[in-house]
């Protein structure tokens, strides 16, 4: 095995081990079902589904079902947790918001890869067993951690009135969804216009931020965390890692760094792009300068 393969396998083991430790710590003292707490069931579903689908995906060297699998895993996790938890208004709200988000984003990304024929991020990865396995394992970690606040709120059994915190969380979620959907629609329309072939988008929300869809995604999970917060206590506060993990991944790992590097390769010598970068924030939107 090459050195790169060893590093990839080590990364897989580390992600799995960290997730297991986190799920075990968060599930301490919670009710068990079949010997496992809800965090551990969520972890088992997230990793089991990703690794199972990885096998045919690698054999066929395809990334077509990657994002769809992630979305369906999110739905499976939240519905299993909801079905095994006490029925409360908070649990209904959390489950509903996550299912809506997953159906929208998963459906959009699956449609996009079907229309485009491929996802360029995977061109070199999908033919390498170890690197491709890392991406599926990272998605398993993503599925588990982004919903952790909601999972722990459901598992807590706490039935508090929704109150003003739920209102703030819902508004944050709605704002994030609007930004994310609008940014995705604007970019697809821009790319569908043949006059924009080979150009970068700087219209609509993309004049306010270079990655407005990611800003919307972050707001979505901050909103979910705010709604879940009143039901958390003790070890369940580990659920607060959810939005922090989203921010970390999107700004430092697979989101913004990869897209910025790709954009620099394509338009780095273009003065218009350099001006766009100088005037437009990376993430947090700002009113465009005249």
pLDDT of residue 268: 86
What Rg do the C-alpha atoms of the chain give, in angstroms?
20
Q: Which residues pair with 268 in a beta bridge?
A: none
Taking a C-beta distance cutoff of 8 angstroms, is the pair 42, 80 a contact?
Answer: yes
For the chain, give the number of residues.
Answer: 290
Q: Is beta strand 32-33 parallel, antiparallel or unpaired with respect to 36-37? A: antiparallel
pLDDT of residue 1: 64
Torsion sign, CA atoms 165, 170, 173, 174 = negative
How many C-beta neighbours within 10 Å does residue 161 have? 11
Residue with tokens 């760094």: 257
Q: How far apart are CA 240 and CA 229, in angstroms?
A: 8
Q: What is the mean pLDDT of each run of 10 residues along the chain (290 residues)?
A: 81 94 92 93 96 95 93 96 93 97 94 85 86 94 96 92 94 97 95 89 94 97 97 94 94 89 90 92 88
Q: How far apart are CA 23 and CA 252, in angstroms?
A: 23
> Angle CA(72)–CA(75)–CA(76) in degrees, nearest 5?
85
pLDDT of residue 200: 92
The DSSP annotation for the chain comes to --HHHHHHHHHHHHHHHHHHHHHHHHTTTS-EETTEEHHHHHHHHHHHHHHHHHHHHHHTT--TTHHHHHHHHHHHHHHHHHHHS---HHHHHHHHHHHHHHHHHHHHHHHHHHHHSS-GGGTTTTT-HHHHHHHHHHHHHHHHHHTHHHHHHHHH------HHHHHHHHHHHHHHHHHHHHHHHHHHHHHHSGGGTTPPP-SGGGGT-S-HHHHHHHHHHHHHHHHHGGG--GGGGGGGHHHHHHHHIIIIISSHHHHHHHHHHHHTT-HHHHHHHHHS-SSS--PPP-
Q: How far apart are CA 54 and CA 185, in angstroms?
A: 29
Q: Which residues of 113-129 are buried (b: 16+ CB within 10 A; e: fewer)?
A: beeeeebeebeebbebe
User: How distant, in Å, are the alpha carbons of 83, 165, 207 from that of 150?
Assistant: 13, 14, 33
């Amino acid at each position: 095995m090459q050195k790169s393969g060893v590093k990839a396998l080590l990364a897989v083991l580390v992600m799995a081990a960290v997730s297991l430790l986190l799920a075990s710590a968060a599930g301490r003292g919670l009710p068990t079902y079949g010997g496992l707490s809800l965090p551990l069931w969520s972890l088992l579903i997230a990793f089991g589904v990703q690794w199972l689908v990885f096998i045919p995906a690698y054999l066929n060297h395809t990334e077509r079902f990657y994002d769809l699998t992630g979305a369906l895993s999110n739905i499976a996790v939240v519905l299993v947790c909801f079905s095994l938890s006490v029925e409360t208004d908070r649990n209904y709200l959390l489950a509903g918001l996550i299912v809506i988000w997953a159906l929208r984003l998963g459906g959009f990304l699956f449609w996009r890869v079907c229309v485009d024929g491929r996802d360029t991020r995977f061109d070199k990865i999908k033919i390498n067993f170890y690197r491709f396995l890392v991406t599926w394992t990272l998605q398993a970690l993503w599925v588990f951690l982004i919903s952790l606040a909601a999972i722990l709120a459901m598992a807590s059994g706490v039935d508090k009135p929704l109150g003003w915190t739920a209102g703030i969380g819902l508004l944050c979620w709605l704002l994030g969804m609007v930004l994310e959907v609008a940014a995705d629609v604007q970019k697809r329309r821009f790319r569908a216009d043949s006059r924009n072939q080979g150009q970068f988008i700087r219209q609509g929300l993309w004049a306010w931020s270079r990655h407005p869809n990611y800003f919307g995604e972050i707001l979505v999970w901050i909103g979910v965390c705010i709604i879940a917060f009143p039901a958390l206590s003790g070890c369940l506060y580990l659920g607060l890692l959810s939005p922090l993990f989203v921010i970390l991944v999107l700004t430092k790992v697979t989101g913004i760094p990869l897209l910025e590097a790709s954009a620099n390769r394509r338009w780095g010598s273009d003065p218009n792009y350099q001006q766009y970068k100088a005037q437009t924030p990376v993430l947090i939107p700002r009113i465009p300068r005249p």
